[in-house]
Structure 1
Amino acid sequence: MPAIPDLVTMLRELIATPSISCTAPDWDQSNLGVIEKLESWLSELGFRTEVMPITGFPGKANLIATLGTGPGGLVLSGHTDTVPCNAELWHSDPFRLDERDNRFYGLGTCDMKGFFPLAIEAARRFVDQPLQQPLIILATADEESSMSGARALAEAGRPKARYAVIGEPTGMKPIYMHKGIMMEAVRITGRAGHSSDPSLGASALEAMHGVMGELIAFRRELQQQYRQSDFAVSVPTLNLGCIHGGDNPNRICGRCELEFDLRPLPGMSIDVLREAIHKRLAPLQQPYGVRIEVEALFPGIPSFQNERTSELVRTAEQLTGHPAEAVAFGTEAPFLKDLGMDTIVMGPGHIDQAHQPDEYLGFDQIKPTVAILENLIQKYCLQGTADT
């Protein structure tokens, strides 16, 4: 057996390698340190590895590591980046693996660097066995910000396989469906002036009041039109997240900006929703005497939906003992599904522990996860067959 670090050492080294991705440049970091570690370990195991730099994103790359050859096969996928953190709110250094209370604490233990050592541990059993279909371990960039890594894979049409498991934290419950995510900004330019005479200006704040009313009415219409009972929140949501405008009580507000997010259900098109918002807000410009611009803060994450009866969904349900569920958070699943793979989201840890101080992965998640991944590799790569 090739000499690579044990599971805990791998996890410790990954947590100690910062790879924050963020839309704010001051926070954003390269993920190459994580990619290089994974590439070293997987190549040592006998995987063929390819590091894929992300065009237009310096210091960012994906890793495609393949064991075996042939069509079909299984992808075990995870993202290498983490969200930013407030280190002062942690009870331990977020970049040092801390073992206490039967948990591993550290930034990325749950979301989702912790998945890679478990996937590699499961793969160890099969490195000297004659795989009938390939096993691919996929590591992506910037899932927490731009999704540039997943978008680059979609553009390249790679990797190709029959099945894909994205190891986001779900408590090892299979997820077959999730909402999409849009984050948009509305920027209004009016005309500042002395507040004693309203005719001297055009209030961007008053125009924003009209915009907010239209968005709330739009949300109400969407929720009347669309519903999917498998979600805990069964309707699309639209959240008015933050607003900034004006500079003094005695000045007419010349500029105002609102940022909001919209989470569409499967079957709702991001492009169609954006066009509807533009058409809805544009007519407000003339009566308020302002300019209204709507801009996407990032391209958006499409919603994801697999068939409840798909081969991989049924197999995951049998292995875990849990029925497939739907979640509201977004993942890279729609990009892999669009590459033609039977895709689920299923990984160790829980989303409740992600994106907050003292993120952790419970010890009790490790052996069951490795065992389930071994079963999937056995079925889809070693045997190369599936019940259909």
Structure 2
Amino acid sequence: MSDATTKSAGVPGIRDMLEKLIALPSISSSTPEWDHSNEAVVRTLAEWLEPLGFAIELMAVPGMPGKYNLIATLGSGPGGLVLSGHTDTVPFDDKRWQSDPFTLTERDNRWYGLGTCDMKGFFPLAIEAARAFAGQPLKQPLIILATADEESSMNGARALAEAGRPKARYAVIGEPTGLKPVRMHKGIMMERLVFEGQSGHSSDPALGRNAMEGMHEALGELLDLRQTWQEQYQNPNFRVQVPTLNLGCIHGGDNPNRICARCELHFDLRPLPGMEMGALRQAILGKLQPLAERRDLNMLFEPLFDGVPPFETPADAALVSVCEKLTGHTAHAVGFATEAPWLQQLGLETLVMGPGSIDQAHQPDEFLELSQLEPTVKILKGLIQQFCL
């Protein structure tokens, strides 16, 4: 038995690996009582990758105690392939689950559990694919990347971009796409607008400055901007071909007979590739600032979170071509966002492709079809063969 085979023998099989990962809670949430550390997950992945010859680096995410990225590298060189996934899951409602979310449960030719599909299930399949190359001399490195907090802040991916790591040429993010390559997605911006005026008796409008009336005018400006953007930008690759702006929630005032002193709006904006988030915010400010000044209202306009930029890899990129050949599917666009923009910022040609369906993500009784396992390993082996050997 070769040295590589001996080492590989100490690494569990796919099911045992996923069973262990599902049993380790790693929820990320902006609500502190839900939020968990992901340290146990990345250390467990490191325990399996090290015997295969991977060099292990744990990177603490700045300002986020208990949150870590894992960069595991097999081989060396300037190019190479990154297989990337996030280690966190969303919160869950246990009353709506038929089985324990933290126990891998098999029924109906599916594996059920929190994170099976989105996206802990990708890691055992990537490790299984890598196992076949343990001990082989790679011309370019293979990197398995595991990130923190994709489901909440994306701060794990942001930290990697700021650190300039990892260095490689190509990256595949194993989000659930039914093993169909995805080369573009919209961005997400969630914004907060607050107007503050002056309360007073409703019998005399001169006694106050009505924040709700200011917001009424602002809503019109936002809807006008939406129409302008939708006329200016269309992309037929998307099911919803235009950028969207959704007025999500609004709160203001306290009584019918008092002038409204404060009104707050939360809205989201989903830009297409080619739309720059900073420019969109400046366009909104350009409409709302004069309105606030004219009405003598104090205005606060700020992101609810930093946002995810839109993402696009050209249709003729080498990685797109290889993934289309390996899967038999033409690369397409999706409406959900991923960590792809930050890997792209690192100079990596990036694509999103993994087992499972986004329809099962964030749902009770989340599952991964067993029929997806073997094809995923085969495709990942093909990618490693192409870009590392």
Do they fold alike, i.e. is TM over 0.5? yes
Q: Does 1:277 align with 2:287?
A: no
Relative distance call for 1:88 and 1:253 in structure 2 (3 A) is: farther
- Return the letter of the residue paired with 1:267: G
Relative distance call for 1:85 and 1:196 in structure 2 (3 A) is: farther
| Alignment equivalent of 2:308, drawn from 301, 304, 307 | 301
Q: Which runs of 5+ in 1 are unaligned?
A: 384-388
Q: Does 1:49 align with 2:56?
A: yes
Match of 1:194, SS state, is coil
- Return the letter of the residue paired with 1:110: C
- Return the letter of the residue paired with 2:57: E
**Contact 1:188-1:293 within 8 A present in 2 as well:** yes
- Return the letter of the residue paired with 1:8: R
**Contact 1:111-1:169 within 8 A present in 2 as well:** yes
Q: Does 1:261 align with 2:264?
A: no
The whole-number CA distance in structure 1 between the counterparts of 2:212 and 2:136 is 67
The whole-number CA distance in structure 1 between the counterparts of 2:293 and 2:316 is 52
Once the two structures are superposed, residues 164-186 of structure 1 have per-residue CA deviations (whole angstroms, 9 ceiling, x without a partner) of 10001100100111111111111
Once the two structures are superposed, residues 205-225 of structure 1 have per-residue CA deviations (whole angstroms, 9 ceiling, x without a partner) of 222111111111110000000
Deviation at residue 283 of structure 1 after TM alignment: 1.4
Once the two structures are superposed, residues 41-70 of structure 1 have per-residue CA deviations (whole angstroms, 9 ceiling, x without a partner) of 111222100000011111111000001111
The whole-number CA distance in structure 2 between the counterparts of 1:156 and 1:343 is 18
**Contact 1:191-1:203 within 8 A present in 2 as well:** yes
Deviation at residue 260 of structure 1 after TM alignment: 1.0
> Greater shift after overlay, 217-226 or 356-365?
356-365
Match of 1:76 in 2: 83
The whole-number CA distance in structure 2 between the counterparts of 1:83 and 1:280 is 36
Match of 1:124 in 2: 131
Q: Which runs of 5+ in 2 are unaligned?
A: 1-7
Match of 1:210 in 2: 217
Deviation at residue 106 of structure 1 after TM alignment: 1.4
- Return the letter of the residue paired with 2:66: G
Relative distance call for 1:286 and 1:132 in structure 2 (3 A) is: closer
Once the two structures are superposed, residues 76-118 of structure 1 have per-residue CA deviations (whole angstroms, 9 ceiling, x without a partner) of 0001111122222222222222211111111111111111111
Match of 2:252 in 1: 245
Q: Does 1:190 align with 2:197?
A: yes
| Alignment equivalent of 1:8, drawn from 15, 24, 48 | 15
TM alignment of 1:148-227, pairs within 5 A: 148-227=155-234
Match of 2:120 in 1: 113
Once the two structures are superposed, residues 289-347 of structure 1 have per-residue CA deviations (whole angstroms, 9 ceiling, x without a partner) of 32121001111111111110111101100110100001121111111122121210000
- Return the letter of the residue paired with 1:125: A
- Return the letter of the residue paired with 1:380: F
> Greater shift after overlay, 22-31 or 168-177?
22-31
Aligned length: 382
**Contact 1:2-1:45 within 8 A present in 2 as well:** no
> Greater shift after overlay, 201-210 or 56-65?
201-210
Q: Could you state the TM-score of these two structures normalised by the residue count of structure 2?
A: 0.95
> Greater shift after overlay, 217-226 or 154-163?
154-163
